[in-house]
Chain A
Amino acid sequence: MRKKVELVEHQLELNERIDLHKKGWVIQRVGWVFMLLVILAAALGTFGNGILSKATIEKGNAKVEYQRFYRYEAEMPMQIFVRNVHGPATISLPESYVKQFKILRIIPEPQEYFIQSGYVSYIFNASSDFLASFYIRPENPGIIEGVIHVNNTPVSLQHLIYP
């Protein structure tokens, strides 16, 4: 039930502007709902680290687990699996993609890496199933896209980075 706001006749030198208060209370309620929605969205991973953000792409022998959404200058994990490898595993990232990140750690450390025709390639000594974890930090907000190659299997990635 909506209660009426009491009207006051007073001798105070005070301009109450009760109309503004009423508007303010409505805006406040809307703001509370909005806050609740933001909290829910964040808990679900709209800004990274959650079910909405975590994505997996499986293609051939390769599987890449990455984050759809993340935050500027936060450490972002990316896991790359390769099944049934015999000999070295190669993970190549396009230079334009690498430029958007600072690569903090790669586990295990690659045996060697080189830059060739616009790609940064990491070579790992692997046998049977192989997992490499990349910890990278977005250096720019916005959409970052790139097609990475996992043992010649192209995998297309897209991240939305919040400021």
Chain B
Amino acid sequence: MNPVLRGVAVYVFILLIFRIMGKRTLSEATTFDLVLLLIISEVTQNALVGDDFSITTAAILITTLMGMDLLLTLLKRPFKGFELVTEGVSLIIVEHGRPLKTRMDKAKVDEEDIMSSARLNFGLERMDQIKYAVLEKDGSISIIPYDEFR
């Protein structure tokens, strides 16, 4: 099959499956996640190049993948909705020390994830020291502590 078609198909498929799996998938690089990611890349590589080892195919595929990425970036500017769909939106999960359980459930985040981020970034000890916690687009959790704990 034509390498450009392969590249586009694989790009769209990966974009879709990562959006379906949710923000938090593979965002925490545990050893297991890292290995899983390596396996995924290995499988993808086979589908992309098959048994064609030419530099031409590699160049076509790299160009196709980069081109798809560029196209997506360009589409995001005029069509705001497009960015919301492909990248998602940030979500507040703690408000004034109160964890918002339903939101956390839906986004597959637990209190331990939030506290871990609070400890790492601000050395906070308790949930009530957090003013806001936000689940960002990339799956990381940003913490905004009360002023006295900054």
Task: Give the shortest distance, in Å, between B79 (CB) and chain A (any CB).
Answer: 14
CA distance A16 to B132 in the complex (A): 13
Chain B min CB distance to A118 (Å): 27
Check if B50 sits within 8 Å of A73, measured CB to CB: yes
Docked complex Cα distance between A31 and B17 (Å): 8
CB of B92 within 8 A of CB of A5, answer: no
Give A20-43 as 1s and 0s: 1 = Cβ < 8 Å from B's Cβ atoms. Answer: 110011011001101100000000
Interface presence of A8 (CB below 8 A): yes
User: In whole Å, how far is A158's beta carbon from the nearest beta carbon of chain B?
Assistant: 21
* Contact partners of B134 in chain A: CB under 8 A: 12, 14
In the complex, chain A residues whose CB is within 8 Å of the CB of B88: 24
Partner of B106, one of A8, A21, A73: A21
* Distance between Cα atoms of A70 and B134 in the complex (Å): 46
Determine whether the beta carbon of A21 is less than 8 Å from that of B100: no
Residues of A within 8 A of B106 (CB): 5, 21, 25
Q: Is the CB of B20 within 8 A of A28?
A: yes
B interface, over-half SS: mixed
* Contact residues on B (Cβ < 8 Å of other chain), bracket: 20 to 34
A35 and B20 contacting across the interface, CB-CB below 8 Å: yes
The prevalent SS among residues of A at the interface is loop
- A residues near B (Cβ < 8 Å) are 3-6, 8, 10, 12, 14-18, 20-21, 24-25, 27-28, 31-32, 34-35, 72-73, 141, 163
Q: List 30 A-B contacts (CB under 8 A).
A: A3-B101, A3-B105, A5-B103, A6-B100, A6-B101, A6-B102, A8-B92, A10-B92, A10-B132, A12-B132, A12-B144, A14-B90, A14-B92, A15-B89, A16-B90, A16-B91, A16-B92, A18-B91, A20-B89, A21-B91, A21-B103, A21-B106, A27-B20, A28-B20, A31-B19, A32-B20, A34-B20, A35-B20, A72-B1, A163-B1
Q: Which residues of B contact A (CB under 8 A)?
A: 1, 9, 16-17, 19-20, 22, 50-51, 84, 88-92, 95, 100-103, 105-106, 132, 134, 144
A6-B101, A6-B102, A35-B20 known; 20 new pairs, CB 8 Å cut-off, are A3-B105, A5-B102, A5-B106, A6-B95, A6-B100, A8-B100, A10-B92, A12-B132, A12-B144, A14-B134, A16-B89, A17-B84, A21-B89, A21-B91, A21-B103, A27-B20, A28-B20, A35-B17, A73-B50, A163-B9
